[in-house]
Amino acid sequence: MFSKILIANRGEIACRVIKTARRMGIKTVAVYSEADANALHVERADEAIAIGPAPSAQSYLVADRIIAACLATGAQAVHPGYGFLSEKAAFCQALANHGIAFIGPDVPAIAAMGDKIESKKLARAAGVSTVPGFLGVIADEGEAVAIARDVGFPVMIKASAGGGGKGMRVAYDEAQVRDGFRSARNEARSSFADDRVFIEKYIEQPRHIEIQILADGQGTTLYLGERECSIQRRHQKVIEEAPSPFLDAATRRAMGEQAVALARAVNYRSAGTVEFIVDARRNFFFLEMNTRLQVEHPVTEMVVGLDLVEQMIRIAAGEKLALRQDDITLSGWAVEARVYAEDPLRGFLPSTGRIARYRPPAEDTAPHGSVRVDTGVFEGGEISMFYDPMIAKLITHGADRDGAILKMRDALDCFEIRGVAHNISFLSALMNHPRFVAGRLTTNFIAEEFPSGFGGVSVDDATRHRLIAVAAATHRRIVERDRQISGQVAGLRSPVASDWVVRIGRINHPVTVGLVDGGAVVTIDAVDGVGPGLAVRSGWEIGDSLWTGTVDGIALSVQIDRLGVGYRLTHGGAQLPVQVLSPAAAVLADLMPVKLPPDMSRFLLSPMPGLLVSLAVAEGAEIKAGQELAVVEAMKMENILRADHDGVVAKIHATTGSSLAVDQAILEFA
């Protein structure tokens, strides 16, 4: 067994590998760029080596610097994580040339399966069902359009060396092929230093289901069940689960056996994933093979009870698998939600900056535990513009799918993040969506259910009443504490009132708060009379930002933040700004005018912090609705900004190459 390994990655996956290595008694070496000098993986590793500037092309993607770090520290092996150099055969070979083990597959398997064009050719030759398409290298936009016509619309334009949703576009007509081809090549070049793309038929109403395999290279190749990864946005997975609610036992076995056959065809060794597209009739087609650990591997670990990182390390050290296919059983259900620094209310635009508060839900680390958090950030750390905006992966396990979903809902309610925008509200909306709960999933789920984007989460009347009760009960406790301040004139200490008004927006909800042993009873005045009294019980202490307890016997987790003279309650993905006022103050609040936001419709504003890659117009130019105006790059993704109406460009406020802040003016219309 190795005594020291280097992790050629960053963020949550580096921390994940360190956790297993430490349990195995193996020393770890972290590498870091200038932007990651204070990152969590650097702190947790036994040693850390700086490898270059912030851009990944000058640090994490430079194989020579990774090898130099191995030689300097005496690391005997490298775990590549996912992304970066994890599927680069040349990197694996360079390590071998220096006598350093690669914790992953061998060079021939990476070369054969890591390249998506070549892997499809190999799969076809092996008799594996594949999606129709053109697998050659495409020279230019004209050839891409011709190929798309031949394959038939819609088509998928995809980077050969891609992954993580980068370099992927769906095109429904020739204009979209031209735009998609250009953007896919640019993203592929930026993210993978390889701008080759291919085109294949886009199967509508598809499910994305993948098979986890594990092979020791000594005769044993296993499949560890499947993962349903159909909930995606822009081809980036958002929710994953194991097993799939769609597969039956026969289809699972057929997909697993086909995945194993493909792995054996390339003498595969280590953990890997064979991805399939599955149609509504459970026909499945080979999509690609990822010759590395997947982001979503924890859901498989939760239901199978294996540590895949440990298995990868043992296989790389020459050990044989101690398991056989009959030993693999699935226990319960697991769901994973990817928590990103992005603003779902602004089209999921990435958010950067310092994390002012980071309080994940409590973990249960027992075998088949119920809650797990994989993260690479910490309170006070920063989300950089140079890398993927993932904050954490939240994984829950239950006896069945409904149980795992219920635990995920509560865990999301307890996940506190401040300082950067995040997508927890959207994840909560997904967990509560009737179609998701029913398991009727496709890769088009988000586009179909949120066709105009995400507009936030609303609460039903029953939930609103519970939140009103929580706000009233907690405010009364705060007022009682405040009334105990020292130095008051004797005899003039005023009693704490029982009647209050909980104000949501400009709607007043009169309430009466009565104290009972160990809690409070909140009576909400309804429009047609007095509403029911709600019993509120909690161990909440003043100053805590997370309220947990029961309202009328129903368990509730609510985040409470001070918001000026009021509070912001967060529950179920909804944020509810409230004020708890005296009846007299509520009357005066009704008289206050509403301040309207300024009209910024004459400006094209940067929707995110990023780099202005190009400007497509000049001052005085006449523009049409839908015309491309600018391209902003952020988090390694290109974002094309288009005109939403006809007009004339009056003034350019930013130049190509400028670093833009969110809402910074790029140009102004006449």
Query: What contacts 38, CB < 8 A, 6 or more positions away?
Result: 381
Separation CA 439–CA 233 (nearest Å): 17
SS3 229: strand
> What tokens does 206 get?
């598809």
pLDDT tens-place string over residues 27-77: 999 999 999 999 999 999 999 999 999 999 999 999 999 999 999 999 999
Cα→Cα distances 404→208, 315, 368, 408, 437, Å? 20, 31, 12, 6, 11
Any idea of the CA torsion for 87, 91, 93, 97, to the nearest 10 degrees? -160
Say which range, 52-56, 317-321, 361-365, has the weakest mean pLDDT.
361-365
Look at the domain 106-131+208-331 and name its fold: D-amino Acid Aminotransferase; Chain A, domain 1 (3.30.470)
> What is the rounded distance in angstroms from the CA atom of residue 392 to the CA atom of residue 340?
7
Its CATH class, for the domain covering 4-103, is alpha beta
- Among 130, 26, 40, which Cα is nearest to 73's? 26
Q: Which long-range contacts (CB under 8 A, 24 or more apart) does 83-86 make?
A: 83/9, 83/163, 83/164, 83/388, 84/8, 84/9, 84/56, 84/60, 85/8, 85/60, 85/61, 86/8, 86/9, 86/291, 86/292, 86/293
Q: Do domains 106-131+208-331 and 333-449 have the same CATH topology?
A: yes
Closest CA to 20 of 334, 293, 358: 293
- pLDDT above 70 for 322: yes
Copy the structure tokens of residue 526: 């309804």
Strand partners, 640: 631
Arithmetic mean of pLDDT, 624-651 = 88
Q: Are strands 574-581 and 416-418 parallel, antiparallel or unpaired?
A: unpaired
Say if residue 627's pLDDT is above 60.
Answer: yes
More confident residue, 230 or 525: 230
CATH 2.40.50.100 describes domain 603-669: yes
Least trusted range by pLDDT, from 116-120, 236-240, 452-456? 116-120
Characterize the bridge pairing of strands 221-233 and 168-171: unpaired
Distance of alpha carbon 563 from alpha carbon 38, whole angstroms: 31
Topology of domain 333-449, per CATH?
D-amino Acid Aminotransferase; Chain A, domain 1 (3.30.470)
pLDDT tops 70 at residue 532? no
Helix (H) or strand (E) holding 203: none
Name the DSSP class of 130: B
* 288 is annotated as an active-site residue: yes
Distance CA 68, CA 74 (A): 10
Backbone angles phi and psi of 115, in degrees to 5: -85, 115
C-alpha–C-alpha distance, residues 84 and 36, integer Å: 15
Query: Does 527 have pLDDT greater than 50?
Result: no
Q: Are 409 and 572 in contact (CB under 8 A)?
A: yes
Catalytic residue among 288, 296, 336, 342: 288
* CA gap 227, 271 in Å, rounded: 14
**CATH entry 3.30.1490.20 includes domain 133-201:** yes
> And the tokens for 351?
């958010």
pLDDT in tens, 325-339: 999 999 999 999 999
Q: Strand 101-102: give its sheet, edge to edge.
A: 47-50, 27-32, 4-7, 77-79, 101-102
* DSSP for residue 198: E
pLDDT range class, residue 531, cuts 50, 70, 90: low
| CATH class entry, domain 461-482+497-589 | alpha beta
Q: Mean per-residue pLDDT for 184-200? A: 86
Banded model confidence at residue 367, pLDDT cuts 50, 70, 90: low
Q: From CA 555, how far away is CA 151, in angstroms rounded?
A: 54
CB 530 within 8 A of CB 523: yes
Contact 308, 300 (CB under 8 A): yes
Q: How many beta carbons lie within 10 A of that of residue 207, not counting itself?
A: 23
pLDDT band at residue 528 under the 50/70/90 scheme: very low
Q: Are 642 and 605 in contact (CB under 8 A)?
A: no
CA dist list (Å): 104 to 163, 230, 250, 268, 430: 17, 26, 30, 9, 34
Instruction: Answer yes or no: are the C-beta atoms of 439 and 433 closer than 8 Å.
Output: no
pLDDT at 205 over 90: no
Q: For residue 89, give both structure tokens.
A: 């055969």
| The predicted structure's pLDDT at residue 352 | 87
Euclidean distance between CA atoms 108 and 116, whole angstroms: 14
Say what the pLDDT of residue 163 is: 67
Question: What pTM, to 2 d.p., does this model score?
Answer: 0.84
Q: Which residue has the tokens 């995809």?
A: 158
Radius of gyration of the chain (CA): 27
Give the residue, 12 or 564, on which the prediction is more confident: 12
Domain boundary assignment for the chain: 4-103, 106-131+208-331, 133-201, 333-449, 461-482+497-589, 603-669
Using pLDDT thresholds of 50, 70 and 90, give the confidence band for residue 316. very high
